[in-house]
Amino acid sequence: MLRPPLLAGLVWLILSSAAPPSGAQVTRVDPLTVQDDDFARHRDPAEWKGLKVSRVEFRQERAAWRLWRIASSRDGPLWFVPHDSENGGFEAALAAVRKYGGSIVAVDSGIAPGADGTRMNRAVDYGRPIDPNRAFDDALPFYARTVLADRGAPIIALHTNSQGFDSSESRCNQSDPIGRGVISIRFCDDTLTPSPSRARAWPWDDDDSVAFTTYRTGQPPSAAYCRDSLVALDFNVVQERVVTSDGSLSNYSVLRGYDYLNFETQDRGLSAQGLADMRNRLMFMIDKALAACAPKIRAAG
Protein backbone atom coordinates (compact mmCIF):
# COMPACT_ATOMS: atom_id res chain seq x y z
CA MET A 1 0.00 0.00 0.00
CA LEU A 2 1.37 3.42 -0.97
CA ARG A 3 2.06 5.78 1.90
CA PRO A 4 0.28 9.19 1.67
CA PRO A 5 3.40 11.26 0.78
CA LEU A 6 4.38 8.78 -1.92
CA LEU A 7 0.83 8.64 -3.26
CA ALA A 8 0.63 12.44 -3.38
CA GLY A 9 3.93 12.61 -5.22
CA LEU A 10 2.76 10.01 -7.74
CA VAL A 11 -0.49 11.92 -8.38
CA TRP A 12 1.45 15.14 -8.91
CA LEU A 13 3.83 13.40 -11.33
CA ILE A 14 0.95 11.95 -13.36
CA LEU A 15 -0.88 15.27 -13.56
CA SER A 16 2.15 17.32 -14.41
CA SER A 17 3.40 14.90 -17.04
CA ALA A 18 -0.07 14.67 -18.60
CA ALA A 19 -0.41 18.41 -19.13
CA PRO A 20 2.75 19.89 -20.63
CA PRO A 21 2.73 23.45 -22.00
CA SER A 22 1.85 23.44 -25.67
CA GLY A 23 1.17 25.78 -28.55
CA ALA A 24 -2.24 27.33 -28.92
CA GLN A 25 -4.87 25.77 -31.18
CA VAL A 26 -6.61 28.58 -33.10
CA THR A 27 -9.93 27.80 -34.80
CA ARG A 28 -12.06 30.21 -36.84
CA VAL A 29 -15.66 30.13 -35.64
CA ASP A 30 -19.04 31.52 -36.64
CA PRO A 31 -20.04 33.91 -33.82
CA LEU A 32 -23.72 33.27 -34.53
CA THR A 33 -23.37 29.63 -33.48
CA VAL A 34 -20.97 29.91 -30.52
CA GLN A 35 -22.52 28.33 -27.43
CA ASP A 36 -21.49 30.98 -24.90
CA ASP A 37 -23.54 33.40 -22.81
CA ASP A 38 -21.81 36.51 -24.18
CA PHE A 39 -22.24 35.48 -27.81
CA ALA A 40 -25.83 34.37 -27.18
CA ARG A 41 -26.75 38.00 -26.50
CA HIS A 42 -25.53 38.95 -29.98
CA ARG A 43 -27.22 36.85 -32.67
CA ASP A 44 -27.72 39.68 -35.16
CA PRO A 45 -25.34 39.15 -38.11
CA ALA A 46 -24.99 42.92 -38.52
CA GLU A 47 -23.14 43.10 -35.20
CA TRP A 48 -20.36 40.88 -36.57
CA LYS A 49 -19.89 42.52 -39.96
CA GLY A 50 -16.18 43.06 -40.62
CA LEU A 51 -15.10 40.98 -37.59
CA LYS A 52 -13.26 37.65 -37.55
CA VAL A 53 -13.76 35.43 -34.52
CA SER A 54 -11.38 32.70 -33.38
CA ARG A 55 -11.38 30.27 -30.49
CA VAL A 56 -7.91 29.99 -28.94
CA GLU A 57 -7.22 26.98 -26.71
CA PHE A 58 -4.03 25.91 -24.98
CA ARG A 59 -2.59 24.39 -21.83
CA GLN A 60 -0.09 25.91 -19.45
CA GLU A 61 1.22 24.05 -16.42
CA ARG A 62 -1.85 22.86 -14.46
CA ALA A 63 -4.59 24.67 -16.41
CA ALA A 64 -6.46 24.55 -19.69
CA TRP A 65 -7.46 27.88 -21.20
CA ARG A 66 -9.94 29.13 -23.78
CA LEU A 67 -9.92 32.64 -25.19
CA TRP A 68 -12.07 34.32 -27.81
CA ARG A 69 -10.22 36.63 -30.20
CA ILE A 70 -12.47 39.02 -32.12
CA ALA A 71 -10.46 40.93 -34.71
CA SER A 72 -11.34 43.95 -36.81
CA SER A 73 -9.76 44.60 -40.19
CA ARG A 74 -8.54 47.95 -38.85
CA ASP A 75 -5.61 48.50 -36.51
CA GLY A 76 -6.54 49.71 -33.08
CA PRO A 77 -6.37 48.95 -29.35
CA LEU A 78 -6.29 45.56 -27.70
CA TRP A 79 -9.54 45.28 -25.74
CA PHE A 80 -9.04 42.79 -22.90
CA VAL A 81 -11.97 41.22 -21.00
CA PRO A 82 -10.34 38.91 -18.45
CA HIS A 83 -13.37 37.87 -16.40
CA ASP A 84 -16.21 35.91 -18.00
CA SER A 85 -18.54 37.06 -15.22
CA GLU A 86 -18.14 40.75 -16.13
CA ASN A 87 -20.76 40.98 -18.86
CA GLY A 88 -20.65 44.75 -19.20
CA GLY A 89 -16.99 44.50 -20.16
CA PHE A 90 -17.83 42.22 -23.09
CA GLU A 91 -20.68 44.51 -24.19
CA ALA A 92 -18.38 47.53 -24.23
CA ALA A 93 -15.53 45.65 -25.93
CA LEU A 94 -17.79 44.55 -28.78
CA ALA A 95 -19.07 48.10 -29.26
CA ALA A 96 -15.52 49.47 -29.06
CA VAL A 97 -13.94 47.08 -31.59
CA ARG A 98 -16.67 47.95 -34.10
CA LYS A 99 -16.14 51.66 -33.52
CA TYR A 100 -12.35 51.89 -33.19
CA GLY A 101 -10.93 48.64 -34.64
CA GLY A 102 -8.24 46.53 -33.05
CA SER A 103 -9.06 43.20 -31.44
CA ILE A 104 -10.77 41.78 -28.38
CA VAL A 105 -9.33 39.02 -26.23
CA ALA A 106 -12.00 37.66 -23.88
CA VAL A 107 -11.35 34.82 -21.45
CA ASP A 108 -13.98 32.06 -21.46
CA SER A 109 -14.35 30.25 -18.15
CA GLY A 110 -16.81 27.85 -19.80
CA ILE A 111 -13.95 25.54 -20.73
CA ALA A 112 -14.69 23.91 -17.34
CA PRO A 113 -18.08 22.12 -17.28
CA GLY A 114 -20.80 24.26 -15.73
CA ALA A 115 -18.50 27.25 -15.26
CA ASP A 116 -19.58 29.50 -18.15
CA GLY A 117 -20.03 33.06 -16.99
CA THR A 118 -17.96 32.69 -13.82
CA ARG A 119 -14.97 34.78 -12.79
CA MET A 120 -12.24 32.17 -12.31
CA ASN A 121 -10.73 29.54 -14.57
CA ARG A 122 -11.73 26.25 -12.93
CA ALA A 123 -10.26 24.02 -15.66
CA VAL A 124 -7.32 23.03 -13.48
CA ASP A 125 -5.76 19.61 -12.83
CA TYR A 126 -5.20 20.36 -9.17
CA GLY A 127 -5.14 23.27 -6.74
CA ARG A 128 -7.25 26.38 -6.68
CA PRO A 129 -9.03 28.01 -9.63
CA ILE A 130 -6.96 30.70 -11.38
CA ASP A 131 -7.86 34.37 -11.73
CA PRO A 132 -7.26 35.19 -15.42
CA ASN A 133 -6.04 38.64 -14.42
CA ARG A 134 -3.42 37.22 -12.06
CA ALA A 135 -1.85 34.84 -14.58
CA PHE A 136 0.64 37.24 -16.21
CA ASP A 137 3.64 35.48 -14.75
CA ASP A 138 7.19 35.53 -16.14
CA ALA A 139 7.67 31.99 -14.82
CA LEU A 140 4.75 30.80 -17.00
CA PRO A 141 4.95 33.14 -19.99
CA PHE A 142 2.78 31.36 -22.57
CA TYR A 143 -0.51 32.79 -21.25
CA ALA A 144 0.74 36.38 -21.51
CA ARG A 145 2.26 35.79 -24.95
CA THR A 146 -1.02 34.32 -26.20
CA VAL A 147 -3.22 37.08 -24.80
CA LEU A 148 -0.91 39.73 -26.27
CA ALA A 149 -0.22 37.97 -29.57
CA ASP A 150 -2.04 40.66 -31.57
CA ARG A 151 -1.24 43.47 -29.18
CA GLY A 152 -2.55 46.81 -30.34
CA ALA A 153 -1.93 50.09 -28.61
CA PRO A 154 -3.10 51.09 -26.17
CA ILE A 155 -4.16 48.04 -24.20
CA ILE A 156 -7.55 48.75 -22.63
CA ALA A 157 -8.92 46.36 -20.01
CA LEU A 158 -12.65 46.45 -19.32
CA HIS A 159 -14.17 45.37 -16.01
CA THR A 160 -17.28 45.54 -13.88
CA ASN A 161 -17.20 45.37 -10.10
CA SER A 162 -19.32 45.11 -6.99
CA GLN A 163 -20.66 48.13 -5.14
CA GLY A 164 -18.48 49.72 -2.48
CA PHE A 165 -15.18 48.47 -1.10
CA ASP A 166 -13.69 46.62 1.85
CA SER A 167 -13.29 49.56 4.24
CA SER A 168 -11.18 47.45 6.62
CA GLU A 169 -8.49 47.37 3.90
CA SER A 170 -8.62 51.10 3.18
CA ARG A 171 -6.62 53.93 4.71
CA CYS A 172 -9.42 56.42 4.03
CA ASN A 173 -13.23 56.51 4.30
CA GLN A 174 -13.19 53.64 6.79
CA SER A 175 -16.65 54.56 8.08
CA ASP A 176 -18.22 53.71 4.70
CA PRO A 177 -20.54 50.69 4.50
CA ILE A 178 -18.64 47.45 4.09
CA GLY A 179 -18.29 46.39 0.45
CA ARG A 180 -15.94 44.07 -1.41
CA GLY A 181 -12.48 44.52 -2.90
CA VAL A 182 -10.70 47.77 -3.60
CA ILE A 183 -12.44 49.14 -6.71
CA SER A 184 -13.87 52.48 -5.66
CA ILE A 185 -12.78 56.09 -5.93
CA ARG A 186 -13.16 56.24 -2.13
CA PHE A 187 -10.57 53.51 -1.48
CA CYS A 188 -6.91 54.25 -0.81
CA ASP A 189 -3.87 52.36 0.47
CA ASP A 190 -0.10 52.31 0.00
CA THR A 191 -0.33 51.62 -3.72
CA LEU A 192 -3.74 53.00 -4.77
CA THR A 193 -4.32 56.77 -4.61
CA PRO A 194 -7.65 58.25 -5.75
CA SER A 195 -8.15 61.43 -7.74
CA PRO A 196 -11.94 61.93 -7.59
CA SER A 197 -14.00 63.79 -10.14
CA ARG A 198 -14.87 67.26 -8.89
CA ALA A 199 -18.19 67.73 -10.70
CA ARG A 200 -19.35 64.11 -10.15
CA ALA A 201 -21.28 64.30 -13.44
CA TRP A 202 -22.35 61.07 -15.17
CA PRO A 203 -20.68 58.56 -15.31
CA TRP A 204 -18.73 59.73 -12.25
CA ASP A 205 -21.92 60.01 -10.18
CA ASP A 206 -21.03 56.43 -9.23
CA ASP A 207 -18.07 55.84 -6.88
CA ASP A 208 -17.49 52.46 -8.52
CA SER A 209 -16.95 53.88 -12.04
CA VAL A 210 -13.22 54.56 -12.26
CA ALA A 211 -10.24 54.66 -14.59
CA PHE A 212 -7.00 53.04 -13.40
CA THR A 213 -3.66 54.49 -14.47
CA THR A 214 -0.46 52.69 -13.52
CA TYR A 215 3.07 53.91 -12.87
CA ARG A 216 6.28 52.43 -11.50
CA THR A 217 7.68 53.00 -8.03
CA GLY A 218 10.11 55.91 -8.11
CA GLN A 219 8.02 57.80 -10.68
CA PRO A 220 5.32 60.41 -10.04
CA PRO A 221 1.68 59.50 -10.79
CA SER A 222 1.83 61.80 -13.83
CA ALA A 223 4.20 59.28 -15.44
CA ALA A 224 1.26 56.91 -15.92
CA TYR A 225 -0.04 56.71 -19.47
CA CYS A 226 -2.87 59.22 -20.05
CA ARG A 227 -3.14 60.03 -16.33
CA ASP A 228 -2.82 63.81 -16.61
CA SER A 229 -5.34 63.97 -19.45
CA LEU A 230 -7.90 61.90 -17.55
CA VAL A 231 -7.53 64.05 -14.43
CA ALA A 232 -7.94 67.17 -16.59
CA LEU A 233 -11.10 65.63 -18.08
CA ASP A 234 -12.44 65.22 -14.52
CA PHE A 235 -12.49 61.41 -14.52
CA ASN A 236 -12.52 59.37 -11.35
CA VAL A 237 -8.88 58.26 -11.59
CA VAL A 238 -7.26 55.63 -9.39
CA GLN A 239 -3.49 55.93 -9.56
CA GLU A 240 -1.79 52.56 -9.08
CA ARG A 241 1.86 52.44 -8.01
CA VAL A 242 3.55 49.19 -8.99
CA VAL A 243 6.27 47.87 -6.70
CA THR A 244 6.44 44.25 -7.86
CA SER A 245 4.03 42.52 -10.21
CA ASP A 246 0.88 41.00 -8.73
CA GLY A 247 0.28 39.02 -11.92
CA SER A 248 -2.24 41.47 -13.37
CA LEU A 249 -2.06 42.84 -16.91
CA SER A 250 -1.79 46.37 -15.51
CA ASN A 251 1.39 45.47 -13.62
CA TYR A 252 2.75 43.37 -16.49
CA SER A 253 2.20 46.24 -18.92
CA VAL A 254 3.73 49.06 -16.92
CA LEU A 255 6.85 47.02 -16.17
CA ARG A 256 7.32 46.58 -19.93
CA GLY A 257 6.46 50.12 -20.95
CA TYR A 258 3.17 49.26 -22.70
CA ASP A 259 0.49 51.94 -22.89
CA TYR A 260 -2.31 50.57 -20.71
CA LEU A 261 -5.64 51.73 -19.26
CA ASN A 262 -8.23 49.96 -17.14
CA PHE A 263 -11.85 51.14 -17.09
CA GLU A 264 -14.33 49.84 -14.52
CA THR A 265 -17.97 50.38 -13.70
CA GLN A 266 -20.40 48.87 -11.23
CA ASP A 267 -22.07 45.61 -12.24
CA ARG A 268 -25.74 46.25 -13.00
CA GLY A 269 -26.91 42.76 -13.87
CA LEU A 270 -28.11 41.06 -17.04
CA SER A 271 -31.23 43.07 -17.83
CA ALA A 272 -31.19 44.97 -21.13
CA GLN A 273 -31.14 48.23 -19.17
CA GLY A 274 -28.31 47.08 -16.89
CA LEU A 275 -26.16 45.88 -19.79
CA ALA A 276 -26.76 49.10 -21.72
CA ASP A 277 -25.88 51.24 -18.69
CA MET A 278 -22.58 49.40 -18.15
CA ARG A 279 -21.72 49.55 -21.85
CA ASN A 280 -22.54 53.25 -22.10
CA ARG A 281 -20.50 54.22 -19.05
CA LEU A 282 -17.48 52.28 -20.28
CA MET A 283 -17.84 53.65 -23.82
CA PHE A 284 -17.92 57.20 -22.45
CA MET A 285 -14.55 56.56 -20.79
CA ILE A 286 -13.17 54.98 -23.96
CA ASP A 287 -14.32 57.81 -26.23
CA LYS A 288 -12.88 60.55 -24.03
CA ALA A 289 -9.59 58.75 -23.33
CA LEU A 290 -8.84 57.87 -26.96
CA ALA A 291 -9.65 61.39 -28.14
CA ALA A 292 -7.26 62.83 -25.55
CA CYS A 293 -4.45 60.28 -25.55
CA ALA A 294 -4.59 58.35 -28.84
CA PRO A 295 -6.09 60.79 -31.38
CA LYS A 296 -4.76 58.78 -34.32
CA ILE A 297 -7.29 56.08 -33.47
CA ARG A 298 -10.42 57.26 -35.26
CA ALA A 299 -13.99 56.09 -34.95
CA ALA A 300 -15.36 54.18 -37.91
CA GLY A 301 -17.09 56.37 -40.47
Residue 24 confidence (pLDDT) above 50: yes
Alpha-carbon torsion, ordered 90, 94, 100, 106, to 10 deg: 50
Which amino acid does the sequence have at 127? G
What does pTM read for this prediction?
0.91
Confidence of residue 22 (pLDDT cuts 50, 70, 90): low
Residue 273 confidence (pLDDT) above 80: yes
How are beta strands 210-216 and 237-242 bridged, if at all? parallel
Residue 140 confidence (pLDDT) above 90: yes
**Higher per-residue pLDDT: 74 or 150:** 74
Q: What is the pLDDT of residue 244?
A: 93
For 52, phi then psi, to 5°, come to -110, 130
**Higher per-residue pLDDT: 178 or 106:** 106
The tens digit of pLDDT for each residue in 152-206 reads 899 999 999 999 989 999 889 998 988 888 899 999 999 999 999 999 999 999 9
